[in-house]
Structure formats: C-alpha cells, structure tokens
C-alpha cells in the first residue's frame, strides 16, 4: 500500500464456501442500487455476485446463502440490494427480522432508495405503512412485492414467496424456522438468505449456527456461506485484526470508532467486533467425547513447576472448591481438581496446598469467602502467590477460553471421576450483561464449583507470561 493510499478493511471473507458458477445477476442488483445516493462497497459487490449466481437454466446456484459480519459494516445493505432487484423483477419477498424496529427500518430504507433511484411512489411502486406488517408493491407489472415482518411462530400468513430473508439471523429459532420455511416451497426458483452476527450466550436462535456448521462441512446442499472473523479468542487491541474482520473499516468506520466500541467483556468484544464464532455456540454442554479426548495418563512433573490455583466459593455458600493448572512443554495445559469441601470446615486445607512454593497466583471467586481466604493466606505467610479477585468480565473470559481450548484439544486432565462427572453433566447459564456464561449442574447434589475452579486455574495459566518455565509432560 502506497504512502498516500487509505487503508481499508479486508474485502474478501476470512472464511467462505461458494459453489462454482459462471453467470450472476449480482451486477444488475449492484448497478440498480448505485443509482441511489449510495454506492456499494467492493466487498458488497463481490458478495452480491456470489449470492445471485445462476446456473445455465437461470436457477439460483445457492438456494440458501448466509453471511456473518461484525456490526456497523453494512451487511444488511446486501439484503436491501437483493430486495430492490426482486421487486423490480417480479419476485415476491418475505423480509423478516427479530425486532419490529429492524423490519420497519428496512422498509423505510428500501422505499427511500427507490425514490432516490428515480422511481415514483404511487406510480412505480406503492407503500403500505403498518408498523410490523409493512408492504412495498411494484406497480409496473410482474407482481413484485416485499412484505416486511417480525418473526413469530405463525409463519408467513399463508402467502407464497420466492425469497425468504432472515435478518438478525443469530436470533432465528427452530420454532420460527418450522413456521416460515415452507412459504417458498411453491416457488419455481426459491432462495433463502440469512444475515447476522455470531450468537452470544443470550442469543435465542440456533438455526444460524447450525446452518454455518453444515455448510462449512459440506453437509448442506445448494448452499453458500461467508464470514469475516477471527478463528479464536484474540487481542482486541490488535489493529490489524480490526482491518481483517471489518470490511467497512476506513469507509464507514474509523479506527477511533472501533477503539471506542470495546467494553470490559473480552468475549463479547471478540464476538461483536472481531466476528468470533465460539464453538460453545454450537453445543449446549461438554460431552463425554469432548472430555475423554483430552484425557492424559500419568503426567510427569519437572523439578520446578509453575502452578496456578483456582478457588470457587459456591453460589449457595455451602461448598468451596480448589483446582490447579500447569503448562506442559508441548503447550498444553494440565488441569486437576484438588478438592471440594464444606465452607464451614474452614480454609486451612487450601492454605496447606499453597505451602507449595511453586504456586505463582491464585484466583478466588465468590463474595462469600474470597476476602476471608485472602486474609488467611496473608496471615499464614505460607505463600508468595498473588491473590486475584476476578470480576465478571474475567469470569466470562475464563469460561469461554476454557471451552475454546478444551474443544481445540489444548487442555489435558487425568480423568478424575469427580471432575469428569460434573464436566460432562453441566450446561451454561448466562452471567453479566454482555453474553457471557457460567455453569450449572444437571445432576442433583453435584457441585459445579469444581468445574468453575478448574476454569479459573486454567485462565491464570493460559494468560501467564511466556517467560515462566515449562511445566509437565504428558
């Protein structure tokens, strides 16, 4: 890039699956859109070529196409381009969104752009303004029509469409899919488009994530996918990653606006701004296979291990659990539960573990006991380990990082029965306000604080500085 050339975001997806084609209607849609006051960005043009690719019979190559782009990049603009082309070419479109305001805004934008293109309301097209059930009809012949709706389980109200649009697709539920997916069955050339951001723990939908997984593994026929994303939890201060995952950076966004978009929750920032798809979004719990794959028999400890402890006081105030984590020479992290005991029995057993001089730090979570333990550690003068009180964003980051690395195979454990039981019989619970999660047990009487302590210990070990000695061998 030359000294005077303005830097812009990556214009091609970081991850995609597009079926081969030689012809497309995408250029027609782009040129039509460009007749308004807006001009399609390069990445939007390329996406429209893929979305509107046709075969030798004029059928859509991709009967389904989905895309995920971080917020404020103009991903929904592609839906508007597709709608305007459809309207003027005799197609019937059902445009759905999760929120009333979103579908209404899409209707307003489409109508405004039609006027900017030189089309005249009540001459070329007609608008019906009923919030939550807006309509745009083409009056120049062909039967083109767009119905704008918020999604419900009532479906498409018995009408037949050629194009089904799912905006805010991260909130698209199985019940909604069952209600509206049949509205295009009678079309001779149907197409479904899904557009959104990666789901968080507070997202209700599962269809978008499952569709992505099937397309990228080749299990979904006649389908395409594109996304701008980082492959794993990443440093949100890395400006190069901003440009890698935000195609409109330098056009619709500036580095300053991105910088001021970050909050205190690293997981949410990775999802919303860097487009991270966490594997946790595709599963509801840790499975037996997930856990057993990471079992490591008889790890060998070197003479000078650097140890990290996680301590979790259970939410009900009954028990307290402790766990340890240490890094292997190969880069994996070995985790192990130390014990889970009643809070009423005191903290002396935890302090006793900390007599081991190799402990570097200990993270203590649980307002009902963390300060007491910290004072006891200090009074006992048994350890120089730093005592850390993690905040909610730290907890959500720790849990997300733990599962990401567990599913990626960079964590190992010895297969302790107590830890295995709770790890393979838990589900997520939402915590905080930014899409983070904690754990809850599926087994009556089983204390999930054991797993939460392991997650904390892993977090300390995984985020420790690299200049510390390598630990154990598996």
- Model confidence at 464, pLDDT cuts 50, 70, 90, reads confident
Burial of 185 (0-12, 13-18, 19+ CB in 10 A): exposed
User: To which residue do tokens 């990445």 refer?
Assistant: 43
Could you give the 3-state DSSP secondary structure of residue 153? Answer: coil
Helix (H/G/I), strand (E/B), else coil: 422: helix
Q: Please enumerate in sequence order all residues whose Cβ is within 8 A of that of 470, keeping only pairs 6 or more positions apart, or say none.
A: 302, 327, 328, 329
CATH topology of domain 288-462: Nucleotidyltransferase; domain 5 (3.30.420)
pLDDT at 382 over 50: yes
- Whether 471 has a pLDDT exceeding 50, the answer reads no
pLDDT recorded at residue 158: 65
Is 127 buried (19+), middle (13-18) or exposed (0-12) by CB count in 10 A? middle
Mean pLDDT in residue range 215-238: 92
Domain range 15-282, CATH class: alpha beta
Q: Residue 468: pLDDT above 70?
A: no
Q: Where are the domains of the chain?
A: 15-282, 288-462
Q: If you average pLDDT over residues 247-264, what whole number do you get? A: 91
- pLDDT bracket for residue 473 (50, 70, 90): very low
Q: Is the pLDDT of residue 321 over 60?
A: yes
pLDDT tier at 329 (50, 70, 90 boundaries)? confident
167-205 confidence digits (pLDDT tens):
999 999 888 898 898 899 899 999 999 999 998 767 778
Residue of 457 and 438 predicted with greater confidence = 457
- Average pLDDT, rounded, for the chain: 88
Chain position carrying tokens 């390598």: 470
Q: How close are the terminal C-alpha atoms of the chain, in Å?
A: 46
Structure tokens at 177: 């899919």
Give 303 or 438, the one with higher predicted confidence: 438
Least confident of 370-384, 403-417, 449-463: 370-384
Query: Which residues are CB-contacts of 24 (< 8 A; sequence separation ≥ 6)?
Result: 48, 49, 50, 52, 53, 54
- Which residue do the tokens 């195979």 mark? 409
The whole-number pLDDT of residue 280 equals 56
Task: Read off the tokens for 165.
Answer: 């649009």
Residue 53 confidence (pLDDT)? 97
Give the C-alpha distances (Å, rounded to integers) separating 269 from 48, 62, 230, 262, 434: 28, 31, 12, 6, 9
Task: Give me the DSSP letters along 326-360.
Answer: EEBTTS-EEEEEEEEEEGGG-SHHHHHHTTSTTEE
pLDDT at 474: 41
Confidence grade of residue 155 (pLDDT, cut at 50, 70, 90): low
Q: Tens digit of pLDDT for each residue in 356-369?
A: 888 999 999 988 88
Strand 223-227 with 15-17, pairing = antiparallel
Which of 67-81, 361-375, 454-468 reaches the highest mean pLDDT? 67-81
Residue 75's closest CA among 207, 281, 272?
272
Residue 284 has pLDDT above 50, yes or no: no
Mean pLDDT of the 55-67 span: 97
Summarised one tens digit per residue, pLDDT across range 291-300 is: 998 998 777 6
Q: How many helices (H) and strands (E) does the chain have?
A: 15, 19
CA distance 185 to 192: 11
335 Cβ contact list (under 8 Å, min separation 6):
323, 324, 325, 411, 412, 413, 454, 457, 458
In this structure, of 89-98, 128-137, 213-222, 307-316, the range with the lowest mean pLDDT score is 128-137
Dihedral angle over CA of 226, 25, 126, 108, nearest 10 = 30
Evaluate the CA torsion angle 434, 11, 221, 187 in order and state its sign.
positive
pLDDT of residue 4: 63
Q: Is the pTM of this model over 0.75?
A: no
């Amino acid at each position: 890039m030359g000294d005077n050339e303005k830097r812009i975001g990556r214009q091609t997806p970081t991850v995609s699956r597009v079926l081969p084609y030689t012809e497309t209607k995408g250029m027609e849609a782009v040129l039509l859109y460009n007749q308004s006051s807006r001009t399609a960005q390069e990445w939007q043009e390329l996406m429209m070529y893929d979305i509107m690719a046709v075969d030798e019979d004029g059928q859509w190559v991709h009967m389904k196409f989905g895309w995920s782009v971080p917020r404020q990049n103009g991903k929904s603009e592609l839906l508007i381009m597709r709608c305007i082309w459809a309207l003027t070419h005799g197609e019937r479109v059902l445009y759905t969104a999760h929120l009333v305001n979103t579908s209404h805004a899409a209707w307003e934008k489409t109508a405004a752009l039609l006027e900017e293109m030189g089309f005249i309301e009540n001459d070329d097209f007609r608008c019906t303004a009923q919030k939550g059930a807006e309509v745009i009809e083409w009056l120049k012949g062909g039967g083109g029509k767009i119905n704008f709706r918020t999604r419900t389980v009532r479906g498409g109200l018995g009408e037949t469409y050629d194009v089904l649009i799912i905006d805010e697709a991260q909130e698209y539920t199985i019940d909604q899919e069952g209600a509206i997916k049949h509205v295009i069955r009678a079309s001779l050339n149907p197409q479904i488009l899904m557009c959104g951001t990666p789901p968080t723990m507070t997202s209700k939908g599962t269809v978008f994530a499952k569709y992505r997984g099937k397309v990228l593994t080749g299990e979904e026929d006649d389908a395409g996918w594109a996304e701008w994303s980082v492959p794993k939890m990443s440093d949100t201060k890395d400006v190069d990653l901003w440009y890698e995952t935000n195609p409109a950076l330098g056009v619709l966004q500036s580095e300053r606006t991105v910088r001021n978009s970050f909050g205190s929750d690293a997981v949410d920032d990775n999802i919303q701004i860097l487009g991270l798809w966490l594997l946790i979004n595709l599963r509801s719990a840790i499975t037996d296979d997930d856990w057993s794959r990471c079992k490591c028999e008889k790890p060998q400890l070197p003479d000078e291990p650097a140890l990290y402890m996680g301590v979790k006081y259970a939410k009900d105030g009954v028990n307290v659990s402790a766990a340890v984590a240490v890094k292997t020479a190969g880069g994996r992290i070995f985790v192990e539960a130390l014990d889970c005991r009643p809070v009423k029995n005191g903290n002396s057993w935890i302090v006793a573990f900390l007599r081991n001089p190799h402990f570097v730090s200990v993270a203590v979570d649980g307002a009902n006991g963390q300060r007491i333990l910290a004072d006891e550690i200090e009074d006992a003068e048994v350890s120089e380990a730093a005592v850390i009180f993690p905040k909610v964003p730290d907890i959500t980051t720790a849990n997300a990082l733990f599962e990401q690395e567990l599913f990626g195979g960079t964590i190992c454990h010895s297969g302790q029965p107590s830890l295995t039981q709770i790890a393979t019989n838990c589900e997520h619970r939402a915590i905080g306000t930014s899409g983070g999660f904690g754990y809850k047990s599926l087994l009556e009487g089983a204390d999930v604080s054991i797993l939460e302590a392991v997650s904390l210990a892993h977090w300390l070990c995984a985020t420790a500085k690299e200049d510390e000695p390598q630990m154990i061998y598996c």
